[in-house]
């Protein structure tokens, strides 16, 4: 077989592309699996704690509630600063620990909202997330140009949320929820495209594993925030 034959070259290129596409498919599946299992862990912890007085009373009726509420932020900051030096196994362990801590934090929704409205909101959030993530994966449009805009919106939502802790304004909370949903839906598409583009066939197994964990973390955070913000609209209070 003559390697200079154009048809041979095309076949080699097509074969290489097929291998890359298969690797990318497995990588994205790994990301979604991590995210999905993480959500299950979070949901189970939240349900157990939120429906067991012996667990939620010591947490949410004491100053310990602030530790539980702020712990997820500490985990995210830890991930951000240690992303380069962290091993894949450490990243995976920290991700599962983060999901447990987030479950403790989200247990409070079972004290405020009815179980039916929580389930309904979850499926609405899952539908929104799935459709947007699929768009981010399949679109040929470069979404990087909206990334900086979305990040500014994210910082604005965080700042407004902190301010509203002291103001307690229902109007401001409504605006935060609306803008926040738009921001996190956009971030879902943007992050999905970034995860897809960051994948490279020549990455070693360690790097690919770590990339999958961090990709799952970004999508997990988007989903959880969409869910929480939607609860402000669709949740029925106890």
Residue 69 lies in a domain: yes
The answer to whether residue 20 scores a pLDDT higher than 80 is no
**Number of structural domains in the chain:** 1
Residue the block writes with tokens 């949740």? 235
Residue 78 belongs to some domain of the structure = yes
Q: Which of 20-24, 132-136, 220-224 has the lowest mean pLDDT?
A: 20-24
Q: How far is CA 194 from the centre of its chain?
A: 13
The pLDDT of 109-134, averaged and rounded, is 91
Q: Is residue 1 part of a domain?
A: no
The pLDDT value recorded for residue 1 is 46
Residues whose CB is less than 8 angstroms from the CB of residue 216 and which lie 6 or more positions away in sequence, other chains included: 31, 32, 33, 34, 35, 38, 95
**pLDDT given for residue 152 in this prediction:** 83
Residue 23 lies in a domain: yes
pLDDT-wise least confident of 15-19, 44-48, 70-74, 144-148? 15-19
**Two tokens, residue 204:** 């070693």
Q: What is the residue range of 121's domain?
A: 6-234
Give domain status of residue 45, yes or no.
yes
* Whether the predicted pLDDT of 8 surpasses 50: no
- Domain-embedded: residue 20: yes
**Mean pLDDT in residue range 207-235:** 89
The rounded distance, in Å, linking the Cα atoms of 33 and 219 is 11
Asked if the structure places residue 168 within a domain, the reply is yes
User: H or E segment at 222?
Assistant: helix 205-234
d(CA 12, CA 3): 9
Tell me if 147 is assigned to some domain.
Answer: yes
Say if residue 65 is exposed, middle or buried (CB neighbours under 10 Å; 0-12, 13-18, 19+).
Answer: middle
């Amino acid at each position: 077989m003559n390697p200079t034959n154009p048809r041979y070259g095309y076949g080699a290129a097509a074969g290489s592309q097929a291998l890359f596409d298969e690797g990318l498919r497995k990588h994205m599946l790994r990301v979604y699996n991590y995210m999905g299992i993480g959500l299950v862990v979070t949901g189970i912890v939240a349900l157990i704690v939120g429906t067991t007085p012996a667990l939620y009373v010591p947490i949410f009726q004491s100053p310990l509630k602030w530790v539980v509420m702020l712990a997820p932020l500490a985990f995210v900051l830890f991930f951000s600063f240690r992303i380069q030096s962290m091993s894949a196994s450490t990243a995976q362990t920290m991700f599962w620990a983060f999901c447990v801590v987030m479950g403790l934090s989200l247990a409070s929704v079972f004290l405020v909202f009815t179980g039916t409205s929580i389930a309904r909101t979850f499926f609405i959030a899952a539908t929104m997330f799935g459709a947007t993530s699929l768009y981010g994966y399949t679109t040929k449009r470069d979404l990087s140009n909206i990334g900086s805009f979305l990040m500014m919106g994210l910082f604005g939502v965080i700042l407004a949320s902190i301010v509203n802790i002291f103001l307690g304004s229902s109007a401001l909370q409504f605006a935060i929820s609306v803008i926040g949903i738009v921001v996190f839906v956009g971030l879902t598409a943007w992050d999905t495209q970034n995860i897809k583009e960051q994948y490279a066939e020549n990455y070693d197994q360690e790097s690919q594993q770590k990339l999958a964990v961090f990709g799952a973390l970004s999508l997990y955070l988007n989903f959880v925030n969409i869910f929480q913000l939607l609860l402000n609209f669709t949740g029925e209070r106890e």
